Amino acid sequence: MDRIDVGGSSEAALRSTSVAGIEDLSVCRSLVAELVSDCAPEMRLDAEVVVSELVTNAFQHSPAEAVQVLACRDVDQLSLTVTSTSTDRPDQFEPDPEFPDPDQTRGRGIPIVRALTDSYRVLIEGGLRRDLVVMSTRR
């Protein structure tokens, strides 16, 4: 696990970590929680859920041995980027809204991420997938 800290002023902060498996989710949640520690409790919880969902998806749909998490916080927003070697599109595992299957255990992560963030998009290029989210810190 590699972690860097760039910045640290009250105006902007950047944190990065590389995790080797789902068992390292707590590292990702802690990294995000530290950046939003001065925000409302609901925002902190939402940010931890979002990073957990994105990292879990990256490991479930990627042959990667590691996933990179980059978190950037300024006064008004938190931006997260999760990079893996998956090339799955975000709509591949979403539940069908007309025929929801309560027994289905897949396909709920991305809808949760979309519901909790102000912006969600996926970039796939050069064999890498980057899930990018932006969340307002003023809730």
Question: What's the pLDDT band for 98 if we cut at 50, 70, 90?
Answer: low
pLDDT in tens, 52-85: 999 998 998 778 788 999 999 998 999 999 999 8
DSSP, collapsed to helix, strand or coil, labels residue 23 as helix
The helix or strand, by DSSP H or E, that contains position 41, with its residue range, turns out to be helix 41-60
Q: What is the per-residue pLDDT for 43?
A: 96
Q: What is the per-residue pLDDT for 116?
A: 96
What is the domain partition of the chain in residue ranges?
2-136
128: exposed, middle or buried (C-beta count within 10 Å: 0-12, 13-18, 19+)?
middle
**Would you identify the CATH topology of the domain 2-136?**
Heat Shock Protein 90 (3.30.565)
